[in-house]
Amino acid sequence: MNFTKMNGLGNDFIVVVADQLPENASELAIAYCDRHFGIGADGLVFILPSEEADYRMRIMNSDGSEAEQCGNAIRCVAKYVYDQQMVSSEQVSIETIGAGVQNVQITAENGTAKTVRVDMGKPILEGLKVPTTIDQETVVNQDIEVDGQTYQFTAVSMGNPHAVIYVDDAVQFDLHQWGPKLETHPMFPNKINVEFATVKSRDYVDMRVWERGAGPTLACGTGACATLVSSVLNGHTDRAATVSLKGGDLFIEWSEEDGHVYMTGPAETVFTGTV
């Protein structure tokens, strides 16, 4: 199997072009994503044919579970198909299982994609649709208790579920202690991605993430989008802000005109190989 190792702000993926999703995709993800005995990655991404878009994307997490959507992965896929001349335009459409068809604008230099702006669609805010167990139109600043500690979270789905929690210092926050407990909390029937955020100004937020099925990663595109939406709902930021992750920065906009969230950031190719 030929593959390309790529990353979006350090959130790294094994990217494979295929005619169809292999039946053993979960097993392949577990084996190949292992950083000691495999290639090493946060996820295994398949670029597949699509009847609705230029291409279809399927993402298997490092634990073998499937992610409905991934903002860093979609930027990598868009860069891959552009750089490999699988599309002829800087406008690319990618089909996802969680957020439908998403439109991508590539900015290229010397024939390669440098930055990628993704229309991530409208956020889902209804509690049961995120999903959480809370039947409310929005779940904002909701108490959640774990191991005797109470946090407040805001629930947002960007095609995959997120809980955004504001803390005093996201950069130093202990992800390993609290991330897995919150990910699997009974309040989240499909588990959840957890973002720990610290608002620095109206247009700048520090964020660290515990990703469902992958653990701590250097960046999460959908998580950055959820963080911006949450910060607007809580009155912390304006509708456009830089979300700073461990692997770098993403610029996120929540448009008042169409209600869509737009994410702009880089994607990089690391190496190619055969396994």
33, 41 contact by CB (below 8 A): yes
Q: Is 193 annotated as a binding residue?
A: yes
Q: How many CB atoms lie within 10 A of CB 8?
A: 31
Q: Is 212 annotated as a binding residue?
A: yes
Q: Looking at 33, 76, 220, 225, which residue is catalytic?
A: 220
Q: Is 195 annotated as a binding residue?
A: no
Amino acid type, 225: C
Q: Is 72 annotated as a binding residue?
A: yes
Q: Looking at 33, 70, 76, 225, which residue is catalytic?
A: 70
Q: Is 71 annotated as a binding residue?
A: yes
Q: CA 89, CA 98: separation in Å to the nearest integer?
A: 25
59, 66 contact by CB (below 8 A): yes
Q: Is 43 annotated as a binding residue?
A: no
Burial of 105 (0-12, 13-18, 19+ CB in 10 A): middle
Q: Is 213 annotated as a binding residue?
A: no
Q: CA 60, CA 192: separation in Å to the nearest integer?
A: 15
Give catalytic status of residue 220 as yes or no: yes
Q: Is 190 annotated as a binding residue?
A: no
Half-sphere exposure of 39 (CA within 13 A, CB side): 27
Q: How many CB atoms lie within 10 A of CB 157?
A: 26
Binding residues for substrate: 11, 61, 71-72, 160, 193, 211-212, 221-222
Binding residues: 11, 61, 71-72, 160, 193, 211-212, 221-222
- Known catalytic residues are 70, 220
